[in-house]
């Protein structure tokens, strides 16, 4: 009886130690491509073109044979280029060591048009008379950049790197907190 219990426990221990392949998700042939481009790369049509954003590793350049596909716009803030690329080239581009990601250029639509209602801000503004006037808010973030919606603010540098927002996150958060909507009108 003890032998059976030991054998059963050994099997359970081995089964628990072997990773479940399904936990990692499906295997991808071209992991640097987004899902839409991965499908296009598998079909590899030589006549279908895709407009893509190719992100490069720091210090890397686009190989010269691919420059003919590049548009004039370079996205320096994310070290990327926009290419009009035949789908038959997608797999090859995704395998380049200098390439970190390839994404389809798509139109993005805002989906937060009801946030004033769902957050309760609409009710507060219209029924309780609160406008935010006279309120002081502190924000600790990556910095704040100049923006037309931010007319009244003060910044302090606590870490010695300057107040300029290199990534844009702090400016975004500051706009959420204190933006006056100037650019929205």
pLDDT digits (tens, 9 = 90+) for 43-95: 988 899 999 999 999 988 888 888 899 987 788 888 899 999 999 999 999 99
Query: Which of 183, 152, 185, 147 has the alpha carbon at shortest distance from 165?
Result: 147
Average pLDDT, the chain: 80
Q: How large is the average pLDDT for residues 113-142?
A: 81
Give alpha helix (H) positions in 63-144.
90-94, 115-118, 121-123
Q: How large is the average pLDDT for residues 118-137?
A: 82
Answer with the residue of higher pLDDT: 13 or 131: 131
Q: Give the integer Cα–Cα distance in Å for 96 and 45.
A: 20
Band of residue 23 on the pLDDT scale cut at 50, 70, 90: very low
Where in the chain is CATH 3.30.70? Answer: 35-104
Tens of pLDDT, residue by residue over 25-41, are: 556 788 899 888 998 99
The answer regarding whether domain 35-104 maps to CATH 3.30.450 reads no
Tens of pLDDT, residue by residue over 89-111, are: 999 999 999 999 999 988 877 77
Which secondary-structure segment (H or E) carries 84? strand 80-86
The Cβ of residue 45 has, within 10 Å, a number of other Cβ atoms equal to 13
């Amino acid at each position: 009886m003890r032998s059976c219990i030991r054998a059963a426990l050994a099997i359970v221990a081995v089964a628990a130690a072997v990773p479940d392949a399904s936990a990692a998700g499906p295997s991808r042939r071209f992991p640097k491509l987004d899902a839409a481009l991965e499908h296009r790369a598998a079909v590899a049509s030589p006549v279908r073109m895709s407009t893509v954003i190719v992100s490069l590793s720091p210090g890397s350049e686009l190989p010269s044979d691919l420059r003919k596909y590049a548009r004039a716009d370079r996205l320096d803030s994310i070290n990327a280029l926009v290419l009009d690329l035949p789908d038959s080239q997608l797999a090859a581009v995704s395998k380049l060591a200098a390439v970190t990601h390839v994404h389809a250029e798509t139109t993005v639509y805002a989906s937060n048009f009801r946030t004033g209602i769902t957050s309760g801000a609409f009710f507060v503004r219209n029924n309780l008379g609160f406008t935010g006037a006279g309120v002081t808010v502190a924000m600790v973030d990556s910095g704040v950049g100049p923006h037309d919606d931010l007319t009244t603010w003060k910044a302090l540098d606590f870490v010695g790197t300057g107040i300029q927002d290199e990534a844009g996150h702090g400016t975004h958060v500051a706009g959420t907190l204190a933006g006056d909507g100037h650019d929205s009108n």
